[in-house]
Amino acid sequence: KRNRLRTQRQRTHDIKLRPLINTLKEQIDSTIKEKLSNTWQNSLQELDTNNMRETWRITKSLTNTNFNIPPLTINGKTVTETQEKVNASADILEQIFTINSDADRTFTFSTEQVVNDFLTQPQIDRMRAPNHSEIAWIVRHLKPRKAAGPDGIQNIILQHLPRFVFKFIAKLFNRSLALNYFPTQWKKEKNYDASRTRQRPHFPTKS
């Protein structure tokens, strides 16, 4: 009923419903507290002082701060009591960290062999080698006015190369991948410090 009134108030903005909602909330809180108090009294009355474990549990619950853990749903079963939550969590952890003795050793061995073969095979076998058509397509889509590298060859010059040249470039790239070797010249670059327009080069730039 309280939730229905709250929904109605949110839709109609009727301020007259607010006192009624607060009254219902107080009644619900009072009922919950009374229920908890009765449960606690019953637990104390049924407490066996000779059972040291149960007595210690009750004493510890009085001295420690209890955290409200929401209900847990494990394997389609919902548990609400603290001990049930502990037992369910322990069962799940035991299942996770228990070695599967019924595992198919043949399947495990074949899986490990596939992984090891993949890790030990040459780099060129793990990926499809690029062909000259793909390299030519990449060169055609380069920005023609980009600055040249250390070799001084600009992109616009590469874009005017005959197509048969890209066959040799493809062979060069593929052999480099197969041998896991990259020439030192390919790793070099040129960096230039370009000052801003209308700014004196000896003045520091603004951050």
81-to-63, 86, 173 alpha-carbon distances in Å: 19, 9, 66
What is residue 47's DSSP assignment? -
Task: Give the SS3 label for residue 27.
Answer: helix
Q: Give pLDDT tens digits for 15-27.
A: 777 777 778 778 8
Q: Give pLDDT tens digits for 29-56.
A: 888 888 877 777 777 677 676 777 777 7
Tokens of 115: 């992984």
Q: Does some domain include residue 164? A: yes
Give the angle 172-176-178 at the CA atoms, nearest 5°: 115
Question: Looking at residue 137, what is its pLDDT?
Answer: 92
Q: Give pLDDT tens digits for 95-148.
A: 777 776 666 778 778 888 888 887 777 655 556 788 889 999 999 999 888 888
Domain that holds residue 57: 1-66
Q: Does some domain include residue 138? A: yes
Tokens of 96: 């996770």
Q: Give pLDDT tens digits for 150-194.
A: 888 888 988 998 988 999 999 998 888 888 788 888 887 777 666
Nearest to 80 by CA among 119, 116, 46, 39: 39
101-to-49, 96, 113 alpha-carbon distances in Å: 44, 13, 20
pLDDT of 207 strictly over 50: no
Q: Does some domain include residue 193? A: no
Q: Does some domain include residue 149? A: yes
pLDDT of 4 strictly over 80: no
Question: Looking at residue 19, what is its pLDDT?
Answer: 79
Question: Looking at residue 195, what is its pLDDT?
Answer: 60
Q: Does some domain include residue 192? A: no
Among 66, 82, 101, the domain boundary falls at 66
Query: Which H/E stretch holds residue 163?
Result: helix 163-179
Nearest to 164 by CA among 132, 142, 129, 139: 132
Nearest to 58 by CA among 70, 72, 74, 42: 42
Q: Does some domain include residue 115? A: no
Q: Does some domain include residue 175? A: yes
Split into its structural domains, the chain has a count of 2
What's the CA gap between 149 and 152, in Å, rounded?
A: 5
Query: Which H/E stretch holds residue 74?
Result: strand 72-74
Q: Does some domain include residue 81? A: no
Q: Give pLDDT tens digits for 71-80.
A: 777 777 777 7
